[in-house]
């Protein structure tokens, strides 16, 4: 005789059993951290620091497995000599067209022009030792400030945002878990403390509002 299976087979568990409020708090904190990091990047770094930030990150990660990688540094020159790698004093925000790619988001500063530096160009892809280039960028572009220290405050703000949300989200997850396990009261009497009862009826314990009905036990109503 064939076995009879009653009910239906569920393929999707809903509502989810995961701590959704805590996960939501983590997601919001990560979004806030991303916003803080973006504001730091956009308004707290110099134009040259913004240009070299991908290289600053890449020389750390690529240097672990590949000693040498290709990069394109920015050079300033007088048009006759090769010139030297651009520093913060040489460039300012702007746009400089390039022959071999998109325009640089930089222009020559008036001070650099006074010293005979009129040309700003991005070199072609060239092999650099990752550790050596990382040390050069750290010293000359970021003033020996590490990658972590650049965004340390923003990461701390994100952690604080998550910490402030955590007690509320954990409390909501515990309450939600209990409702899923024991069920939720839809109607009928409920046992409450005097304080909870007074809060529900917006009373002080001396009198009751007569336009609403509340069910409770004798111990609850005794003040």
Residue 116 has what pLDDT? Answer: 85
* Among the ranges given (62-71, 82-91, 99-108, 180-189), the one the predictor scored with the smallest mean pLDDT: 180-189
Are residues 59 and 39 part of one domain? yes
Convert the pLDDT of each residue in 62-72 to its tens digit: 877 889 999 99
Are residues 138 and 65 part of one domain? yes
CB-neighbour burial class of residue 127 (10 A; exposed 0-12, middle 13-18, buried 19+)? exposed
Domain containing residue 195? 186-223
Convert the pLDDT of each residue in 95-129 to its tens digit: 999 887 789 999 999 988 888 888 999 998 999 99
Cα torsion angle, 60, 156, 93, 103, sign? positive
pLDDT band at 189; cut points 50, 70, 90:
confident
Residue 219 has what pLDDT? Answer: 45
Residue 3 lies in a domain: no
Taken as a whole, the chain contains a residue count of 223
Are residues 110 and 82 part of one domain? yes
Residue 148 lies in a domain: yes
Residue 219 lies in a domain: yes
Residue 10 has pLDDT above 80, yes or no: no
As a whole number of Å, the end-to-end CA separation of the chain is 65
Domain count, the chain: 3
């Amino acid at each position: 005789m064939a076995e009879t299976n009653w009910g239906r087979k569920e393929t999707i568990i809903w509502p989810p059993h995961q701590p959704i409020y805590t996960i939501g708090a983590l997601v919001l904190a990560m979004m806030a951290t991303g916003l803080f990091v973006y504001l730091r990047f956009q308004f707290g770094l110099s134009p040259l620091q913004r240009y070299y930030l991908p290289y600053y990150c890449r020389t750390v990660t690529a240097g672990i497995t590949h000693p040498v990688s290709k990069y394109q540094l920015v050079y300033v020159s007088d048009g006759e000599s090769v010139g030297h790698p651009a520093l913060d004093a040489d460039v300012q925000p702007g746009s400089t067209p390039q022959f071999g790619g998109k325009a640089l988001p930089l222009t020559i500063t008036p001070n650099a022009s006074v010293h005979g530096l009129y040309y700003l160009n991005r070199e072609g892809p060239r092999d650099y030792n990752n550790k050596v280039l990382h040390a050069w960028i750290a010293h000359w572009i970021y003033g020996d400030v590490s990658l972590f220290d650049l965004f340390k405050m923003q990461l701390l703000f994100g952690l604080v945002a998550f910490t402030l949300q955590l007690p509320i989200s954990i409390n909501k997850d515990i309450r939600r878990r209990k409702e899923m396990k024991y069920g939720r009261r839809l109607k009928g009497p409920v046992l409450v403390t005097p304080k909870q009862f007074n809060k529900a009826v917006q009373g002080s314990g001396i009198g009751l509002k007569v336009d609403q009905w509340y069910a409770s036990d004798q111990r609850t109503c005794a003040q």
